Amino acid sequence: MQPHNYVLVIFDSCRYDSFVTAGPKTIAKLGAVEARWSYASWTAPSHFNLLMGLLPHSSPKQVYASEYYKKDFFKFNERLGVDNVGFKSLVPQLYFPIFLKRQFNYRTHAMVSLPVLNPKTILNTGFDTFRLMPKHNDMRAMLREMRFPEDRPSFYLLNVGETHYPYALPDEPPEQWPRVSGVHGVFKHLDDHIVGGKLIEGGDKFFDQSKLDILRDRQVKAVGYLDRVVEELFDLVPANTYITITADHGELFGEEGYFGHGPIQHEKVFEVPFVEGLLR
């Protein structure tokens, strides 16, 4: 029996509570939505972890880390529809795309929205194709590029940018995007990654909570929009495709004086949604 096709969808910067507030009905068909924790608070290091097979983790008490990892890696047997996958299977490369190609002859593809994941980075290792999309916020354009030949299983990593600042949908004109003073000035281009930081009391008047609440509401609406795009993904993939939907990290919208993500030690930067299941 051929292994499952496997699609790993990463909603960039998506907070767990934003996801739950949106109430995505299509995505919930995969299974129960869990609150999990990212291994990193920024896009690039988080994706390194994801491509090592380290998906966002739960936080069980009185459990040895080694036992947790053993159980977590074993879950890939279900995701891939195979037997005997474990931590030792990923050694020595500890890199999921290489493992899939070597062990199970997968075709491996990545489509990413954020430039810090561009094809010149070492993330582009073991992939047959690795593409930085023309727009940072258009998951639907990724679906148009997906193919599932029957002779071999396929793995897709989709880094989705609608839930990343400025939380803009693809048909929203850039002049209508929110502008955060001090964020756009950090990088020359909007699509370059935002790292976040501490808001200065009495500083830029943009940083009042009512405006930050508007930004959070934009992320919630982005999840609602993506739920409809995921419905199209479900219609596109073949039967017996396993799909995991999660986030690389969360986001701060004014909690304790913080905005964004990156060099911030706060639970809302690490708490992410996690849901997965097999489409039959």
pLDDT in tens, 129-141: 999 999 999 999 9
In sequence order, which residues have a C-beta less than 8 Å from that of residue 213 and are 6 or more positions away?
A: 253, 254
SS3 content of the chain, % helix, strand, coil (to 5): 35, 20, 50
Q: Is the residue at 83 inside a domain?
A: no
User: For the chain, which residues score pLDDT lower than 50?
Assistant: 184-203, 206
Domain that holds residue 40: 5-61+93-279
Q: Is the residue at 66 inside a domain?
A: no
What CATH number has the domain bearing residue 152? 3.40.720.10
pLDDT at residue 181, as a whole number: 57
pLDDT at residue 191, as a whole number: 42
d(CA 102, CA 60): 32
Q: What one-character DSSP code corresponds to residue 238?
A: P
d(CA 84, CA 263): 38
pLDDT at residue 209, as a whole number: 81
pLDDT at residue 189, as a whole number: 43
pLDDT at residue 109, as a whole number: 98
Q: Is the residue at 78 inside a domain?
A: no
Per the structure, the count of domains in the chain is 1
- Look up the pTM and report it: 0.91
Q: Is the residue at 163 inside a domain?
A: yes
